[in-house]
């Protein structure tokens, strides 16, 4: 590809909209262009990189025994109503009515569509196991699109669905996909960590996310400093504190005029925050109220809480709702006397406490020496607090630390979440109808492009891993009008082509410095320079973008030198 023919404009200035290093570089290197908030066009260079990533993912899915198909992006509401997600899916689903006043949505995911397909095609257990996948555009009306294609409203995704006759079969499919994902991400040049995750809107039982560690990631990863425990902060578990053994004291009411916050209460009672218990009141839909108790120095993990109670929606109660429920204004809520009016959820650390402080459900008053069992009985006791650095690991005696990451893949054990609701069954060897067991596995293909760049760049530009680089070599002809140089360039290009190496030839009438800057910005793995000094010994100056190592190679050996720098996997995903 000649630079003079390539549909590409590089930018010298940093675009005002860019939020992360990778976002800036994707715009400056001409990989993407913004159409609207969270909606981007992939330019030729960016699309080539995405296609190479797609090919790697496709090869790993095929090797795992999956079959590729293509499902409609336009989905009728009836399928989502069958699964129950039409009413619980939230505002991220882009819904509309067609000319016949029928409800549709633009597919944010395809569990309902693939389940509908399978229930009409699969009749016998002999047709299972089955793994079907697609690489297709998805649509989600994100509240706050950010970081370019990392969090966008329209994106390319690989979604695969497994169908098995039993749970043991699902375990096999799940583990196979775990290994395929790990292999695909390594081939793309990404460092990843697999973490426990919350299934969210997709549903099911177990799920794991593959995270690309990055300082600009919007997810917080909780990891143990001793063992292999790792989880998304939304799902991170914490080992409960040791239960206290001091004798129970008599509960008392203490007047606390205008003392509404934990910090005010610690000062007023001269007690630390970890002796206080906050009662946070939530509205969970259909008039259901939930009172959640956590220690005064902790925060509620609303994702854990939603998953624990299987809630379709959850929101903090309004001040009027809190007063109607408790009889007191905000700041004086407590669990005593709330058992019949709300679902009372107690965090595991609170469950081990004795003689703690809570609101008294009366204006300007708190209780001291409150104890579970004697003074109130919770409906649920579970870990509902937000993890933080220093917390005890749930698996060992280590401590939890945190880092940031970009979610690039998510795998789920759906079980019968969709197949039971949509009556997707097959006959077993005895002719008995059995509900099919299902799994779901997603990779954000367009997001992978951004994640690769976030992990592979320097101050000068992108540093592409060879396997996913749009092209392998950036050729600079120092003097475009020089016929001898041009002849040498053509011979070099021919040797590259015969070796399966793709390239960009910068044949523009620009200063060498401009070409070198664009070469670093675009970040192809190898830069090759042919200029006046090349003519004497018919040589090519070769530079590795990642290491900065430079060498002079004879024209006859140059392609072999380039191939050695690129490595073998650079050619498996060539487009």
Q: Which one is predicted more confidently, 88 or 207?
A: 207
Of all residues in the chain, what percent are helix, strand and coil, respectively (each to 5)? Answer: 30, 30, 40
Task: Please give the pLDDT value at position 17.
Answer: 85
Given CATH 3.30.930.10, say whether it is the number of domain 21-189+416-454: yes
Mean pLDDT, residues 302-317: 87
Q: Which CATH code fits 252-382?
A: 3.90.960.10
CA distance 280 to 258: 18
Pick from 298, 306, 370, 286: nearest CA to 336: 370
Q: What band does 536 get if pLDDT is binned at 50, 70 and 90?
A: confident
Residue ranges of the domains in the chain? 21-189+416-454, 252-382, 465-571
Strand boundaries in 417-501, DSSP class E = 425-427, 433-435, 437-444, 457-458, 461-462, 473-477
Answer whether the bond into residue 129 is a cis peptide, omega within 30°: yes
Parallel, antiparallel, or unpaired: how do β-strands 365-370 and 380-382 relate? Answer: unpaired
Cα gap 127→424, rounded to integer Å: 13
Find, among 371, 332, 350, 373, the residue nearest to 250 by Cα: 371
Compute how many other C-beta atoms are within 10 angstroms of the C-beta atom of residue 380. Answer: 15
Instruction: Encode pLDDT of 169-196 as tens digits.
Output: 999 999 999 999 999 999 999 999 999 9
What is the CATH number that goes with domain 465-571? 3.40.50.800
Q: Compute the half-sphere exposure of residue 223: CA atoms within 13 Å on the CB side of its CA.
A: 17
Q: For 42, phi and psi rounded to 5 degrees?
A: -90, 120
The residue that leads in pLDDT, 311 or 290, is 290
- Angstrom CA distances, 172 to 65, 407, 431, 547, stand at 12, 23, 24, 41
Crossing angle for the helix pair 445-455 and 44-63, nearest 10 degrees? 110
Closest by CA position to 166, among listed 366, 428, 504, 393: 428
Q: What is the pLDDT of residue 201?
A: 64
Least confident of 110-119, 379-388, 453-462, 563-572: 563-572
The answer to whether residues 292 and 381 touch, using CB atoms and an 8 Å cutoff, is no
Q: What is the mean pLDDT of residues 351-380?
A: 96
105-114, 292-301, 532-541: least confidently modelled range: 532-541
The average pLDDT across 221-233 equals 95
pLDDT at residue number 544: 96
Q: Are 384 and 345 in contact (CB under 8 A)?
A: yes
User: Mean pLDDT, to the nearest integer, of 476-503?
Assistant: 93
What is the arithmetic mean of pLDDT over 302-327?
90
Query: What stretch of H or E contains 163?
Result: strand 154-164
Q: Write down the residue that tokens 């204006």 correspond to.
A: 363
Mean pLDDT of 398-414: 96
pTM of the full structure: 0.90
pLDDT of residue 408: 97
Instruction: Indicate the average pLDDT of the chain.
Output: 94
> What mean pLDDT do residues 72-100 have?
93
pLDDT tens per residue, range 27-68:
999 999 999 999 999 999 999 999 999 999 999 999 999 999
pLDDT at 434: 97
Residue 457: half-sphere exposure toward Cβ, Cα within 13 Å: 23
- List Cα–Cα distances, 110 to 79, 128, 163, 170, 546, in angstroms: 10, 20, 14, 19, 39
Q: What per-residue confidence (pLDDT) applies to 514? A: 96
pLDDT at residue 571 above 80?
no
Determine the pLDDT at residue 490. 94
The alpha carbon dihedral of 106, 108, 112, 118 has a sign of: positive
pLDDT at residue 198 in the model: 83
Across 344-358, average pLDDT: 97
Asked whether the predicted pLDDT for residue 381 surpasses 90, the reply is yes
What pLDDT is attached to residue 418?
A: 96
CA distance 437 to 413: 9
- pLDDT, mean of residues 313-331: 93
- Alpha helix (H) ranges present in 64-110? 77-83, 85-88
């Amino acid at each position: 590809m000649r630079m003079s023919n390539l549909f590409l404009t590089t930018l010298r200035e940093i675009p005002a909209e860019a939020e992360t290093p990778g976002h800036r570089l994707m715009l400056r290197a001409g990989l993407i262009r913004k159409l609207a908030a969270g909606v981007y066009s992939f330019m030729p260079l960016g699309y080539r990189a995405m296609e190479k990533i797609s090919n790697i993912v496709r090869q790993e899915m095929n090797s795992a025994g999956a079959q590729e198909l293509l499902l409609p992006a336009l989905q009728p509401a009836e399928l989502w109503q069958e699964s129950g997600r039409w009413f619980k899916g939230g505002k991220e689903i882009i819904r509309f009515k067609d000319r016949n006043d029928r409800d549709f949505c633009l597919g944010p995911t395809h569990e309902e569509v693939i389940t509908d397909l399978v229930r009409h095609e699969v009749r016998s257990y002999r047709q299972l196991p089955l793994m079907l996948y697609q690489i297709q555009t998805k649509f989600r009306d994100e509240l706050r699109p950010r970081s370019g294609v990392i969090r966008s409203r329209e994106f390319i995704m690989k979604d695969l669905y497994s169908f098995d006759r039993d749970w043991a079969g699902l375990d096999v499919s799940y583990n196979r996909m775990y290994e395929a994902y790990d292999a695909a991400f390594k081939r793309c040049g990404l460092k990843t960590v697999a973490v426990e995750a919350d299934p969210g809107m997709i549903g099911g039982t177990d799920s794991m996310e593959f995270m690309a560690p990055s300082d600009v990631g919007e997810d917080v990863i909780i990891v143990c400093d001793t063992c292999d425990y790792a989880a998304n902060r939304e799902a991170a578990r914490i080992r409960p504190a040791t239960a206290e053994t001091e004798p129970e004291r008599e509960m008392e009411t203490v007047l606390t005029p205008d003392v509404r916050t934990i910090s005010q209460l610690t000062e007023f009672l001269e007690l630390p925050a970890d002796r206080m218990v906050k009662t946070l009141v939530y509205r969970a839909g259909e008039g259901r109220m939930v009172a959640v108790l956590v220690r005064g120095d902790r925060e509620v993990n609303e994702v854990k809480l939603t998953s624990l109670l299987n809630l379709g929606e959850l929101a903090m109660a309004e001040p009027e709702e809190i007063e109607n429920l408790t009889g007191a204004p905000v700041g004086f809520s407590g669990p005593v006397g709330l058992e019949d009016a709300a679902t009372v959820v107690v965090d595991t650390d609170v469950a081990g406490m004795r003689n703690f402080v809570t609101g008294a459900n009366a204006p300007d008053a708190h209780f001291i020496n409150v104890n579970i069992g004697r003074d109130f009985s919770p409906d649920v006791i579970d870990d509902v607090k937000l993890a933080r650095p220093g917390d005890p690991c749930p698996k060992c005696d280590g401590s939890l630390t945190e880092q940031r990451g970009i979610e690039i893949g998510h795998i789920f054990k759906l079980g019968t979440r969709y197949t039971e609701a949509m009556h997707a069954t097959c006959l077993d060897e005895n002719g008995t109808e059995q509900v099919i067991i299902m799994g779901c596995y997603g990779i954000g293909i367009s997001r992978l492009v951004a994640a690769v760049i976030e992990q592979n760049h320097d101050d000068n530009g992108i540093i592409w891993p060879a396997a996913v680089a749009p092209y392998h070599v950036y050729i600079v002809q120092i003097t475009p009008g020089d016929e001898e140089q041009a002849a040498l360039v053509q011979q070099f290009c021919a040797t590259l082509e015969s070796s399966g190496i793709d390239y960009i030839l910068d044949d523009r009438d620009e200063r060498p410095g401009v070409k070198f800057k664009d070469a670093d910005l675009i970040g192809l793995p190898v830069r090759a320079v042919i200029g006046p000094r090349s003519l004497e010994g018919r040589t090519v100056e070769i530079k590795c973008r990642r290491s900065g190592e430079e060498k002079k190679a004879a024209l006859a050996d140059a392609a072999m030198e380039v191939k050695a720098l690129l490595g073998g996997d650079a050619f498996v995903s060539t487009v």
